[in-house]
Structure 1
């Protein structure tokens, strides 16, 4: 047991209090017992004598039928451990038991004949009784008491003289003093044992709660206090368990928030990298045509070599500027899509009308590519969304399907419904295929399967990226995949 622990302090305090209190009780008992016993003894005898006097007044003393009165006197001596004599008014002995010989009865008789001026207590005529403590020649003390009594068959008064020895209580006090060292040793053993049990009973719950609190301070919330008492200890135990549970929940929330923050930071870094790559790609996409147009114009201005044919190179410069214009519009579309995360112009749209409008704008392109178009969409099928944005997305998808299809191949646009109340719009171009390694990257900005980035063989690489942003804004699922003899783009409504 550590000296500075609460268990040791309670143990020492409890043992000390028990020892001190017990010694105070023993000392008080030793000092106060004789006086208290004397008072108790005298009051008890006086009360008994008054009762005896009333009983004797109903019995006979002169007649031969005085057995009842003598029995009362004998019983009184036995019950109160006293000696007594009964005298008549002329100081003649009426009752003198053998036990009276152990103190001086003659002095009582002599005192009564000398106007009550003896060692015995003088009779108080007002109360017909008196008593006092008398020291005997052998240094013993007795309590002497005189009571005037009457009997039924004699109207004259009698005197009942009583002596009660007080010496035994002094001996008891001496015995207590003699036993004090042994009692002190016994008290110390009992006090130490009691204090040990008490300190353990009081401090064990505290130590348990302290261990729980220490574990909680180290962010270990797995431990639970098992104290279930109905007192303050039980309430504190319940509060600690609740605290641990709440801290565990908050820590879990913090961990989740931290993980989310890490994911957000990671995504932010990825977006920042993509933004840098995007800006770098834009710079390249703009720098090349600007340089090309600038060179052609400069050659035409100074009539250098082939650039003397201004009509030819003006047309080429115009074509390049048209491509740049288209790129700028695509960049503006991307900026708008990334700046807004909500649809602003939502309406009910007939999907068949969008497809019809797109096909009407692409009629010449379809004729030029010599592909066959198959459309299977219910004219009553409607969706909710932004008409212009969905028109742009579907246009890019269909343009890609036509652009990368060979002559005499099929472009299939159809709507199919499933049993789970979902609908799927499919755009299929036959006779085409995409390597699997490119499928997941097709929706990245400026990504092209053909690495030369020749505008004659492909666009800017932003078409499918714009499609991705528009469909995600509408919260429509989509995917592109290879199928037998073709490529299929699917949108799920």
Structure 2
């Protein structure tokens, strides 16, 4: 048989069930034999007591003898039950022995009893036995009674038939129990292995590059359900990652194509003598080179942050001072668009973080808000304590906002809500990715949400100084 978890479980359940049933069967057989032995010995004692009582009643006190006809009747009845009696009176007038009257029948009875016991118990150690009892009447000894039988005990035909019926019933129950356990084992094995087979099938498809496939949801056992859920999540994550890789490749190609095309066309035109290599044209080429260098630098920086390539230089600093310096850098853009910049510092506690990295985050968030806020709009910076040793920084605006379905993707590299990728509405789509990497490297988190009155809110939650 092919070695599989299903087959192993079925065989294991069947073997365990067989072992248990065999153990119970042996126990019941032994116990049944013990009970029948106890019953047979008890019946033997009861019958002997009855024989003694009946013979005592046959004694005639006046004549000092026993009723011979009555003795014959009792003796024959006792013989039918496997007992051979011999009576002697004290005065010697009675000496009655069943073997004298029916010797052949006595022999047949004993042989039959021996055959029954040997047939049922091949190793039964039995033989002819005799017990002698004193006969008394009103305290006076009137004689002796010797009772012979096949011992130490024997079972009648009816009792052996009952015992055989019980054993056959027990075997039938055992057979049905074993069959039921095997069927139950098959059902349990299928229930256990079905989700595993589904997971194997999904894993094989994933190995073949078919991402996003889902295994059949498992029911019942929490372990298999969690396993299926984990594999499904992994498959979904791989599909998302693969889609992002393709998107990144397309976006990088798109970002690189424009400056490279411009450089190529300008340089070829100047090499072919179509254009004069004027200062303005050389500066334009230099600008495209700087743009390419900036993109490569940002990608290198993002890789370094995400792969723990750089350690943070943490220190305490005043957040209001940081914001004042940043706002001074954006002063020209704020005046041109007549933006109302609000700084709401709710906590005067210092922030424990890497100054230059947090400044980089704030520059990215503020520049993003300024880019998507119309002229005359409002940009607010809120700094407060978030409790439990955390600080919260919010940058919010009343600009055009972000479609709800786009919010989870804002921090993905090269992602931009403006699919046209116009330079007027944003950069290369790496700034927010770098911001998230910096915040997570601080042990914090960042998320974006739409404001009820319109606009977007970015929230950074950073841990406080370690105590």
TM-score normalised according to structure 2 size: 0.56
Pair 1:218-2:179 in alignment: no
Structure 2 residue matching 1:401: 3-state secondary structure: helix
Pair 1:279-2:249 in alignment: yes
- How many Å apart are 1:180 and its aligned residue? 8.0
Q: Please list, as runs of the form range in 1=range in 2, the aligned pairs for 1:43-58 lying within 5 A after superposition.
A: none
Deviations 1:73-105 (A, max 9, x none): x99x958999xxxxxxxxxxxxxxxxxxxxxxx
Aligned residues of 2:393 and 2:461 also touching (Cα < 8 A): yes
Q: Distance in 1 between matches of 2:91 and 2:252?
A: 137
Residue in 2 aligned with 1:332?
Answer: 300
Structure 1 residue matching 2:360: 3-state secondary structure: helix
Q: Distance in 2 between matches of 1:323 and 1:330?
A: 11
Q: Distance in 2 between matches of 1:469 and 1:388?
A: 14
Residue in 2 aligned with 1:471?
Answer: 439
Q: 1:370 to 1:377 in 2, by over 3 A?
A: same
Q: How many residues get paired?
A: 330
- How many Å apart are 1:278 and its aligned residue? 0.7
Match of 1:402 among 334, 347, 370: 370
Aligned residues of 1:300 and 1:310 also touching (Cα < 8 A): no
Q: Distance in 2 between matches of 1:486 and 1:270?
A: 28
Q: 1:357 to 1:253 in 2, by over 3 A?
A: farther
Residue in 2 aligned with 1:345?
Answer: 312
Aligned residues of 1:433 and 1:486 also touching (Cα < 8 A): yes
Match of 1:491 among 446, 460, 465: 460
Structure 1 residue matching 2:423: 3-state secondary structure: coil
Q: Distance in 2 between matches of 1:478 and 1:343?
A: 23
- How many Å apart are 1:402 and its aligned residue? 1.9
Pair 1:427-2:395 in alignment: yes
Residue in 2 aligned with 1:102?
Answer: none
- How many Å apart are 1:454 and its aligned residue? 2.9
Aligned residues of 1:343 and 1:385 also touching (Cα < 8 A): no
- How many Å apart are 1:417 and its aligned residue? 4.9
Match of 2:163 among 194, 203, 216: 194
Aligned residues of 1:477 and 1:492 also touching (Cα < 8 A): yes
Pair 1:169-2:99 in alignment: yes
Match of 2:428 among 454, 460, 463: 460
Q: Distance in 1 between matches of 2:176 and 2:161?
A: 21
- How many Å apart are 1:282 and its aligned residue? 0.9
Q: 1:432 to 1:251 in 2, by over 3 A?
A: closer
- How many Å apart are 1:253 and its aligned residue? 1.9
Match of 1:259 among 211, 229, 232: 229
Match of 1:303 among 268, 273, 284: 273
- How many Å apart are 1:302 and its aligned residue? 3.3
Structure 2 residue matching 1:308: 3-state secondary structure: coil
Q: Distance in 2 between matches of 1:283 and 1:411?
A: 34
- How many Å apart are 1:426 and its aligned residue? 1.9
For structure 1, which runs of at least 5 residues remain unmatched after alignment? 26-73, 83-141, 145-159, 223-247
Q: Please list, as runs of the form range in 1=range in 2, the aligned pairs for 1:93-132 lying within 5 A after superposition.
A: none
Structure 2 residue matching 1:461: 3-state secondary structure: coil
Aligned residues of 2:444 and 2:460 also touching (Cα < 8 A): no
Deviations 1:139-193 (A, max 9, x none): xxx999xxxxxxxxxxxxxxx9968746543325444457689989994443222
- How many Å apart are 1:259 and its aligned residue? 2.5
Residue in 1 aligned with 2:289?
Answer: 321
Q: 1:472 to 1:213 in 2, by over 3 A?
A: farther
Structure 2 residue matching 1:460: 3-state secondary structure: coil
Q: Please list, as runs of the form range in 1=range in 2, the aligned pairs for 1:335-374 lying within 5 A after superposition.
A: 335-340=303-308, 344-345=311-312, 347-350=314-317, 351-374=319-342
Q: Distance in 2 between matches of 1:435 and 1:251?
A: 40
Q: 1:210 to 1:387 in 2, by over 3 A?
A: farther
Structure 2 residue matching 1:218: 3-state secondary structure: helix
Q: 1:203 to 1:358 in 2, by over 3 A?
A: farther
Pair 1:415-2:383 in alignment: yes
- How many Å apart are 1:482 and its aligned residue? 3.8
Q: 1:385 to 1:177 in 2, by over 3 A?
A: farther
Q: Distance in 1 between matches of 2:344 and 2:369?
A: 16
- How many Å apart are 1:400 and its aligned residue? 0.9
- How many Å apart are 1:380 and its aligned residue? 3.1
Question: Greater Rg, structure 1 or structure 2?
Answer: 1
Please report the RMSD computed on the Cα atoms of aligned residues, expressed in angstroms: 4.9
Aligned residues of 2:381 and 2:395 also touching (Cα < 8 A): yes
